Chains A and B, each alone.
Chain A
Amino acid sequence: MDRNHPQSPGFVTKPVAQDGSQSAASHVMVWVALVMLTGLTVTVAGLHLGAASILVAIAVAAVKGTLVLSRFMHLAQEPPVFKVMLGVAISILVVIMVFTFVDVAFR
């Protein structure tokens, strides 16, 4: 069998197509989860829980963002260096935020 034929084992082991194994159904499931989380965050905001409200909103947004990054942007299947890079970018952001807040708080 020609190795470039879709049914050939060689075709299956191509290095960049890991997400080809992710079925359309699994993408739809991720979307369903994202829609449900949106419903959750809107519902919780409507309950007027005060200070807890913003924490829930940010937590839900973080879960949604992680879902999009790992499943839609295929970060879960990327080599570790991609995750390290993301970790560095987020760390820089956290450092900037923490130091700014320290500055504002003790001004």
Chain B
Amino acid sequence: MSSAVHKYAAPPGKALSAHKYAAPPGKALTARMGMWLFLFTELILFGGLFLLYAVYRTQFSEDFHYAAGGLDTGTGTANTLILLTSSLTMVLSIAFLKQGRRQASLGLVLATMALGAAFMVNKVFEWTAKFEHGLYPSSDILVEHTPGENMFYGMYYTVTGLHGIHVLAGIAVLGWMAWTMLPVPGPRMESSEDGKARTESGEDGDARMRSEVVERKLENAGLYWHLVDVIWIFVFPLFYLIS
């Protein structure tokens, strides 16, 4: 079989109705490319904050070291491991979906959401503890500390807060994906075992195209989730490991 034959090709004898379910082969590629372009804007967004951090860190080096001692390295490490594991469940859910193992894929999407939620629960405990110690922007306690310490905690709340919003957005996107992947009666959720049967009629072909759309969406949701993980990979040492 020639390499020109790909999964979007119509089955033999069905060429005339191929337009019904033959998506252009470049569609998944351009969808991913669009997602990457969006991710670059995220990179610049957080890059600007990292730049701010770097400049103030050089100006208030000692204060940053001292203030970072107030952060709980254990919580930060736990959250790092949680996010790394969520990236694993995310990438596996996409791999399983491509193998047609939709139930397993859906389970892994839900696991990714649960890990994201666990990350946020840790974050809430962490922030609450800081607030109880009076360590929040412009607090009575913090204003009496050095400008550098105030700058550190300002950066800490801005960066981890913005990152937390991204985690919440990721959970929402994955929730929408899970909803799309829920097993429903009819052709929306079919296993790969009947891959042959699916191509025999136009209606099943539509189902196949829908499954390709789900695959594409989950891929892009995964790209977003992994980027949020990449950002945390840099946030973690810069804030939690410099005391």
| Per-position 1/0 for B4-43, Cβ under 8 A of A | 0111110100000000000001001100110011001001
Given A16-B29, A31-B88, does the pair A68, B241 have CB atoms closer than 8 Å? no
Closest to B243 in A: A45
Given A13-B3, A15-B6, A61-B237, does the pair A2, B242 have CB atoms closer than 8 Å? no
A9–B29 CA distance with the chains assembled, in angstroms: 21
Contact of A27 among B95, B98, B230, B242 (CB under 8 A): B95
- The answer on a CB contact under 8 Å between B237 and A60 is yes
Given A65-B234, A93-B43, does the pair A86, B36 have CB atoms closer than 8 Å? yes
Given A3-B5, A42-B73, does the pair A96, B51 have CB atoms closer than 8 Å? yes
A103–B158 CA distance with the chains assembled, in angstroms: 24
Most chain A beta-carbon contacts within 10 A, residue among B92, B222, B241: B241
Contact of A35 among B7, B8, B81, B91 (CB under 8 A): B81
Residues in chain A near residue B230, CB distance under 8 A: 65, 68-69
Q: Is B223 an interface residue (CB 8 A)?
A: yes
- The answer on a CB contact under 8 Å between A104 and B55 is yes
Residues in chain B near residue A54, CB distance under 8 A: 237, 242
For residue B103, give the distance in angstroms from its CB to the closest CB of chain A: 15
Given A4-B196, A35-B81, A86-B40, does the pair A13, B5 have CB atoms closer than 8 Å? yes
- The answer on a CB contact under 8 Å between A6 and B100 is yes
A79–B33 CA distance with the chains assembled, in angstroms: 10
Most chain B beta-carbon contacts within 10 A, residue among A20, A28, A71, A89: A89
For residue B218, give the distance in angstroms from its CB to the closest CB of chain A: 12
A6–B33 CA distance with the chains assembled, in angstroms: 27
- The answer on a CB contact under 8 Å between A89 and B44 is yes
- The answer on a CB contact under 8 Å between B195 and A4 is yes
- The answer on a CB contact under 8 Å between A4 and B7 is yes
Contact of B33 among A9, A11, A42, A82 (CB under 8 A): A82
Q: Is B229 an interface residue (CB 8 A)?
A: yes
Contact of B227 among A6, A35, A73, A79 (CB under 8 A): A73
- The answer on a CB contact under 8 Å between A10 and B43 is no
Given A6-B100, A31-B85, A60-B237, does the pair A96, B6 have CB atoms closer than 8 Å? no
Residues in chain A near residue B223, CB distance under 8 A: 73
Q: Is B123 an interface residue (CB 8 A)?
A: no
- Show 15 A/B contacts (Cβ-Cβ < 8 Å), sorted by A: A2-B195, A4-B11, A4-B198, A19-B95, A20-B95, A24-B92, A31-B88, A38-B81, A42-B77, A45-B73, A60-B237, A65-B230, A72-B226, A85-B36, A97-B51
Rank and list the top 4 A-B pairs by shortest CB-CB distance, nearest first: A14-B7, A57-B237, A45-B241, A89-B40
